[in-house]
Structure 1
């Protein structure tokens, strides 16, 4: 069974950091519940297709940028928290944020992303 920490890392690195559509879709299927809800300051995406479109759009807006963890995954029962940063590879980040996820039945059911002030 996949742990909450592994799901949080997959969310950041195998989904939102993955530019290959096929690999990202496969990661989404193994990371999120089919009816996942993803909320960020821009709105709400529901389900695998909308979440995939969100990740793809974000990557398209930031060519050459990569996501990286900005600390360890914190876990409390079925809740995961991961701080992250985004920027050009090998350079200081231009955006920082946190992801908080609720896990049910071994998959992320709800995911909240907050962007932190620079």
Structure 2
């Protein structure tokens, strides 16, 4: 089945807001509200430890990452790219105004204006991220 084309602007918004308001957010209530606004209820987050499904699990993983690096910020590297119902965004994370400690790509699939799948690809030099113990 061919997916309907999603709005380029909406996919760009989802990519940047997900980075800042979910993975960059320390406050659990604000992060959870953003997840419910941006993600489909059965959305799947694909991260190196394994797939994470649904609001609670995504909030838990994002909170663990935030707690492991409370002073890190996520910064987009370039502009989002969009193709039909998918988009990608390169990013780096580390202390503000310093070189990123780790970096990667988010590749997102969108349906009905919400994230249904997000694949997090880490750059080979991203050992810092891999050391964070995320419990699925």
- Cα offset, 1:5, TM superposition: 0.5
**Counterpart in the other structure of 2:61:** 54
For structure 1, the 5+ residue unaligned runs are none
2 CA distance for matches of 1:55 and 1:70?
20
1 CA distance for matches of 2:94 and 2:113?
30
* Number of residue-to-residue matches in the alignment: 118
**Counterpart in the other structure of 2:99:** 92
- Cα offset, 1:26, TM superposition: 0.9
The answer to whether residue 77 in structure 2 is matched with residue 74 in structure 1 is: no
Q: Kindly indicate which of the two structures has a greater share of residues assigned to strand.
A: 1
Normalised TM-score (structure 2): 0.84
Counterpart among 28, 31, 44 of residue 35 in structure 2 = 28
2 CA distance for matches of 1:26 and 1:59?
16
- Cα offset, 1:63, TM superposition: 2.1
Normalised TM-score (structure 1): 0.96
Moved segments of 4+, more than 2 Å: none
- Cα offset, 1:60, TM superposition: 0.8
3-state secondary structure, aligned to 2:99: coil
2 CA distance for matches of 1:63 and 1:40?
19
For structure 2, the 5+ residue unaligned runs are 1-6, 126-136
